[in-house]
Amino acid sequence: MIGYVCVGSNDIPRAKRFYAAFLPALGYSVKEGPEGLSYALPVPEGQRPLLPDFYVKPPFNTQAASAGNGTMVAFEATSQAQVRRLHAAALAAGGTDEGQPGFRANYGPHFYVSYLRDQDGNKIAIYASDPNEPGRDG
């Protein structure tokens, strides 16, 4: 199980605008501190936290943040419509389009996904894969 994911940022206020455009709609709340942004899903009383948490922080080695080639973080949406809305919101918040919402031939018939980059170059996917929604072939 993945416990948390952390991406680097050179500009935390700018990163906060980008991630605030879609993570709250996926149920994440944010805590902001001097070390950066911490996003977590709500924890029902008496239950363990839902993982993974997602952190946006300046690199600990104080060097400039940079994106890893081939590195991507994917967030699951509830529907194809939500993928489209959140992709548009992230673009409006300063993100860069890396792939418009839609089906991809290399994935299953219900895998609907969009790709973005935040302002630091981190690649983000937002996807839905509900078999009750229309699929690529239907």
d(CA 118, CA 68): 13
Helices (H) and strands (E) in the chain, counts: 2, 8
Break the chain into its structural domains and give their ranges.
4-59+71-128
Multiple choice CATH, 4-59+71-128, 3.30.70.2740, 3.10.180.10, 3.40.640.10, 3.40.50.450: 3.10.180.10
pTM score, two decimals? 0.89
* pLDDT computed for residue 50 by the predictor: 85
- Helix ranges, the chain (H): 12-20, 80-92
- Residue 138 pLDDT > 80, yes or no? no
Angle at 14 between CA 66 and CA 129, to 5 degrees: 75
* pLDDT computed for residue 68 by the predictor: 86
The per-residue pLDDT for range 80-112, each reduced to its tens digit, is: 999 999 999 999 999 999 999 999 988 989 999
